[in-house]
Amino acid sequence: MSSQISIEEVDIRGQICPSTLLTALREVNIRKADLKGGKICLTMLSDNRSSVTNISESVGSMGYQVDVKKEHDYYRITISRIP
Amino acid sequence: MSFIHLYMLTGCLLIGFAAGWVMHRSDYCVAGMFRDLFLFRSTFMLKTLLLLILVSIPLFEVARLTGSVKYPFPLFGTPSLANFLGGMLFGIGMVLAGGCVVGTLYKMGAGRFPSLLAFFGLVAGSGLYAEIHPYWSLFSRTVALPTKAVTVPQLLALPSWLVSGPLLLVFSVLVVRWFRRGQMMKPVVVDGYLQPWKAAILLAVIGFFSVLLVGMPLGITTAYSKMGALLEQSLVPEHYNQVVFFGLYPLQYIPPVGGGLLRGGPGASLDGIALIQFPLIAGIILGAAFSAWRLGEWRIQFSLPMRQVISALLGGIIMGLASRMAPACNIWHLMGGLPILAMQSILFLAGLLPGAWLGGILLSRLVLPR
């Protein structure tokens, strides 16, 4: 029987720097146990180019898998456990 | 308008356009560099700023050797502790506003609403300075340093290359070491990303073209006062006529491309400042807007937490005020003044650091979500 991974989404578009990065790090830390346990996958929507780069770098260095995909005029950052 | 003036106007528009494009692609946010040093202990972007200054040193020296450029550049004056205090206030303002005077423009061009608020604040703050100018001017003269020298080489009575040469050599070794360790590169995750070290070199070259064209490095803050003056003149003309600051013409020089004496000041007239700085501002906004549009990323979102609205507006006002008190902004001092070792710029930087630290504390405690 395979366990279901739920996807949680946080929209951080339009905010001033560095609110986006700090919010992203806070959201990751709040869900740390579930993310590390592979129970959830966190996606964030950001339209701030600098923050997308910084979130990807910072969260990646915390030991998560980070995927960035462009969607229309913003970026979707997907954070999950390293398989 | 003469042909030479039209040439300068077009050139400034193109220079601004190039700067706006480069800054947007690399997100070359100078406010962020100093803020992140204190908030995240990150020195990555500051390393590229050092590279920019190092590349500018020989380029400005070449411009000086052409003989057509006044050296030190016009509008740089003798040092005063007012430069330090202005820099400190500027540091607080730029962190709260989420961008410096130029960062605000390129972000606004890319459709960022907080930067539009900061822009309004900048115009208001620059106009507000006019009211306190007589007192601040007196204070600035009172705390002036006892020297007639504008730059460190002048203070030491040495040729400029003899002072900047060794500095260039020492810091270049450091930058080369950072390159070898891979500390000058960011992972590419967004479309059309320009590595900040490439942006630094391009911005140094853009600054060089600005010096060749108008005889000065990039600078736009007096234009904000002019916008404030234009508003004040149309809304309260009687009061406008009584404000001494708006009647000043600090810029009086002959540009390298000729055209005779060019005068300019913060008042509402369409003078030399308007000729140089208005097209630069328009160019930066357009360059960033074009870059964002080409990437399909231009968008504007008006919803913003109230604390961030206040922070952007207040930060803009503080920055506008400080940019006249300093005088001038971080781009002028860091990218234009430091390469020629202007003492005003060194004092401005010395103030900018504690200012950005204080701004970071205010931002994280009062503005950002906990």
Q: In what order do the strands lie in the sheet with A64-71?
A: A6-11, A40-46, A74-81, A64-71
Confidence at residue A15, expressed as pLDDT on a 0 to 100 scale: 82
User: What are residue B100's phi and psi, to 5 degrees?
Assistant: -85, -170
Q: Is the CB of A16 less than 8 angstroms away from the CB of B191?
A: no
Touching check for B44 and chain A: CB below 8 Å? no
Nearest to B29 among A13, A47, A50 (CB): A50
CB A51 within 8 A of CB A19: no
Contact criterion met (CB < 8 Å) for B369 and A70: no
What confidence score (pLDDT) does residue B71 get?
86
Task: List CB contacts of B307: < 8 A, sequence separation 6 or more.
Answer: B366, B367
Shortest CB distance from B308 goes to which of A15, A74, A75?
A15
Condensed to tens digits (0 to 9), the pLDDT of residues B175-194 reads: 999 999 999 999 999 999 99
Q: For residue B333, what pLDDT is reported?
A: 97
Chain B: nearest CA to A40, how far in angstroms? 23
Give the count of domains, chain A. 1
Interface contact B99-A17, CB threshold 8 A: yes
Residues of A in contact with B304 (CB under 8 A): 14-16
Distance in angstroms (rounded) separating the CA atoms of residues B332 and B209: 14
User: Is B368 at the interface with chain A, CB within 8 A?
Assistant: yes
A64 DSSP β-pair partners: A81
Determine the pLDDT at residue B335. 97
Q: Does B189 touch chain A (CB under 8 A)?
A: yes
Which run of H or E residues covers position B263?
Answer: strand B262-264
Q: What is the pLDDT confidence band of residue B368, given thresholds at 50, 70 and 90? A: confident
Q: For residue range B327-345, list pLDDT tens digits in order.
A: 999 999 999 999 999 999 9
Q: Which of A47, A53, A74 sits opposite B186 (nearest CB)?
A: A53
Q: Give the Cβ contact number of residue B165 at 10 Å.
A: 14
Whichever domain contains A12, its CATH number is: 3.30.110.40
Three-class secondary structure of residue B137 per DSSP: helix
A52 in B contact zone (CB under 8 Å): yes
Give which of A21, A18, A49 is closest to B186, Cα–Cα. A49
Query: Which of A14, A56, A73 comes nearest B296 by C-beta?
Result: A73
Q: Does B28 touch chain A (CB under 8 A)?
A: no
Select the residue from B96, B104, B185, B190 to test the A interface by mutation, using most A Cβ atoms within 10 A. B190
Contacts of A33 (CB under 8 A, 6+ apart): none
A49 Cβ under 8 Å from any chain B Cβ? yes
B48, pLDDT greater than 70: yes
Confidence of residue B370 (pLDDT cuts 50, 70, 90): low
Q: Does B311 touch chain A (CB under 8 A)?
A: yes
Q: Which amino acid is at A8?
A: E
Preceding amide of B74 cis, omega within 30: no
Which pair of structure tokens corresponds to residue B95?
Answer: 């962190």
DSSP string, B69-136: S-SSPTT----BHHHHHHHHHHHHHHHHHTS-HHHHHHHHHTT-HHHHHHHHHHHHHHHHHHHHHHHH
Cβ atoms < 10 Å from Cβ of B43: 15
Q: How confident is the model at residue B273 (pLDDT cuts 50, 70, 90)?
A: very high
For residue A24, give how far its alpha carbon lies from the nearest alpha carbon of chain B (Å): 11
pLDDT-derived band at A1, boundaries 50, 70, 90: very low
Considering the domain boundaries, does residue A48 fall inside one?
yes
**pLDDT reading at A3 higher than 70:** no
Across the A:B interface, residue pairs with CB atoms under 8 Å apart total 78
Alpha helices per DSSP H over B143-253: 152-156, 160-180, 196-214, 221-235, 237-242
Helix (H) and strand (E) counts in chain A: 3, 4
The Cα of B189 is separated from the nearest Cα of chain A by a number of Å equal to 6
Please indicate if any CB of chain A lies within 8 Å of the CB of B5: no
**Residues in contact with B276: Cβ distance below 8 Å, sequence separation at least 6, in sequence order:** B8, B12, B214, B216, B264
Residues B190-224 pLDDT 10s: 999 999 999 999 999 999 999 999 999 999 999 99
Task: Name the residue facing B189 among A14, A47, A52 (closest C-beta).
Answer: A52
Calculate ∠ Cα B34-B37-B41, nearest 5°. 170
A74–chain B Cβ distance below 8 A for any pair: yes
The boundaries of the domain holding residue A57 are 6-81
Of A22, A53, A72, the CB nearest to B189: A53
pLDDT at B239 over 90: yes
**B93 neighbourhood in chain A, CB within 8 Å:** none
- Write out the two tokens for B291: 């870059």
Please state the rounded mean pLDDT for residues B292-309: 92
Average pLDDT over residues B344-351: 98
DSSP B17: H
Instruction: Please check whether residue B40 is in contact with residue A25, taking contact to mean a CB–CB distance below 8 angstroms.
Output: no
Mean pLDDT of chain B: 96
Q: Considering the domain boundaries, does residue A38 fall inside one? A: yes
Chain B residue numbers touching A53 (CB-CB < 8 A): 27, 186-187, 189-190, 193
End-to-end CA distance of chain A: 18
Q: For residue A19, which residues of chain B lie inside 8 Å, CB to CB?
A: 308, 367-369
- Out of B35, B99, B190, the one facing A75 most closely (by C-beta) is B190
Question: Hey, what are B338's tokens?
Answer: 């430091």
Instruction: Verify whether the Cβ–Cβ distance A53 to B98 is below 8 Å.
Output: no
Taking only the tens place, the pLDDT of each residue in A40-78 is 999 999 999 999 999 999 999 999 999 999 998 999 999
Helix or strand holding residue A74 (H, E) = strand A74-81
Instruction: Decide if B329 contacts B217 (C-beta within 8 A).
Output: no
| pLDDT 10s digits, B7-43 | 999 999 999 999 999 999 999 999 999 999 999 999 9
Q: CA B136 from chain center: how many Å?
A: 21
How far does B119 lie from chain A, in Å, by closest CA? 14
Tell whether A1 is covered by a domain. no
DSSP state of A16: P
